[in-house]
Amino acid sequence: MTIARSLTLATMLMLTACAPTEASGDATVLVALADDEILLAPPSVPDGRIVFDTENTSTALVHEIEVFSGAIDGVLPPVANSVADTAGLTLIDEVEDIVPGASATLTIDLTPGTYLVICNLPAHFEAGMWAYLTVTG
């Protein structure tokens, strides 16, 4: 392969990698459910149909993913009876009972705003299982 051809291939790969995800309709958020945190990659996506590609990375605990609208970044809901009191939030969708090592996919249409992603099994929210997702317009 010539150098010019290698450069062309490299350029094409870069253009493909940089193509905006919203052009194809869906944005994907990789969600790692760990025992003491939830990691979202990326933590900000454009509005529209969003695929939460979720994996329970725990070796021992069952987890769930719940996505709430109406969240304010930096303002967590209070805890009552070992779970988050989500009375001021709106549950958009969830997947329960994701066993250790298992994956689950949640696809939701979201409008711009701040969303709170949590696992609300007893004591899990308090342990740190929450993350904010920013959806931009």
Contacts of 28 (CB under 8 A, 6+ apart): 21, 50, 51, 53
Q: Which is nearer to Cu ion, 63 or 106 (CB)?
A: 63
- Of 58, 74, 107, 113, nearest in space to 90 by CA: 113
Q: Which is nearer to Cu ion, 66 or 115 (CB)?
A: 66
- CA–CA separation, 86 vs 75, rounded Å? 12
CB of 123 to Cu ion, least distance (A): 9
CB of 99 to Cu ion, least distance (A): 11
Residues, the chain: 137
Q: Which is nearer to Cu ion, 50 or 121 (CB)?
A: 121
Q: Site residues for Cu ion, window 17-76 (CB under 5 A)?
A: 63
CB of 91 to Cu ion, least distance (A): 16
CB of 27 to Cu ion, least distance (A): 24
- Of 49, 30, 52, nearest in space to 40 by CA: 30
- CA–CA separation, 30 vs 11, rounded Å? 26
Q: Site residues for Cu ion, window 108-137 (CB under 5 A)?
A: 119, 121, 124, 129
**Binding region for Cu ion (CB under 5 A):** 63, 119, 121, 124, 129
